[in-house]
């Protein structure tokens, strides 16, 4: 296929030609249709050649060949020595640098990579969900597990039947006494230094058995 480029009154042909067998790859050749105007448009020609060669990451050399009739040819294949005048034209390396992020974006990216949000896990380990508290005064213990470990200012808050049980605390053990018989919903919340809930356990239901009082 022949591609025609026009720069004012000057026409350029982009011709794909086949390189010799030892070179292996196809070469690109620029042919000047009006040799008298070539010198005035050399800059434009080099730009076209550079665009054609921009698919390669490494810098390449383009050869300017002038034959005895003044016909000028540009090619990336080293011409064989002969009567032609051969000049080398260096094509700069293709820009492969990464884009520079704005300062604010760099700060945000560094902050996100340095302190990712942890995956909180809060569970009630005792009593098990659906457990029955044996007949007695209605006393039992509640234990929870929190991952990752609590920070210095973090606290755990127990909730029984939707109501807060005691103040927030740094340890994960509670002792409940004189709990009425029947089903009770237990839940543990993880609080940050401001008292905001950052994680909550699943509700664990326990059944308390107590003797009936006969009147």
What are the domain boundaries of the chain? 3-91, 121-208
pLDDT in tens, 10-50: 444 444 444 333 444 444 444 445 555 555 555 665 665 55
- What's the CA gap between 23 and 50, in Å, rounded? 20
Query: pLDDT grade, residue 199 (50/70/90)?
Result: very high
Beta bridge partners of 214: none
pLDDT in tens, 105-114: 565 665 566 5
Indicate the pTM of the whole model: 0.47
The residues, ordered by sequence, that sit 6+ positions from 47 with a Cβ below 8 Å of its Cβ are none
pLDDT in tens, 66-94: 888 888 887 878 777 777 888 887 766 66
pLDDT in tens, 113-159: 655 678 999 999 999 999 999 989 999 999 999 999 999 999 999 99
Residue 72: burial class (beta carbons within 10 Å; 0-12, 13-18, 19+): buried
Q: Which CATH class is domain 121-208?
A: mainly beta
Contact call for residues 176 and 188 (beta carbons, < 8 A): no
């Amino acid at each position: 296929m022949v591609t025609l480029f026009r720069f004012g009154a000057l026409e350029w042909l982009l011709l794909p030609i086949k390189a010799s067998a030892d070179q292996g790859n196809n070469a690109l050749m620029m042919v000047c249709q009006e040799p008298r105007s070539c010198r005035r448009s050399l800059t434009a020609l080099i730009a076209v050649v550079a665009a054609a060669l921009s698919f390669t990451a490494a810098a390449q050399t383009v050869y300017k060949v002038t034959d005895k009739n003044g016909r000028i040819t540009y090619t990336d294949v080293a011409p064989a020595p002969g009567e032609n005048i051969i000049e080398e034209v260096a094509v700069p390396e293709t820009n492969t640098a990464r884009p520079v992020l704005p300062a604010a974006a760099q700060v945000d990216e560094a902050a996100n990579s340095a302190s990712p949000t942890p995956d909180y896990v809060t569970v009630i380990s005792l009593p098990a969900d659906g457990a029955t508290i044996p007949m007695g005064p209605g006393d039992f213990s509640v234990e929870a597990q929190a991952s990752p470990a609590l920070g210095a200012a973090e606290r755990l808050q127990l909730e029984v039947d939707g109501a807060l049980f005691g103040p927030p605390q740094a340890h994960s053990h509670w002792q409940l006494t004189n709990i009425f018989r029947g089903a009770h919903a237990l839940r543990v919340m993880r609080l940050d230094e401001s008292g905001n809930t950052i994680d909550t356990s699943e509700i664990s239901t326990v059944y308390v058995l107590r003797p009936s009082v006969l009147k």
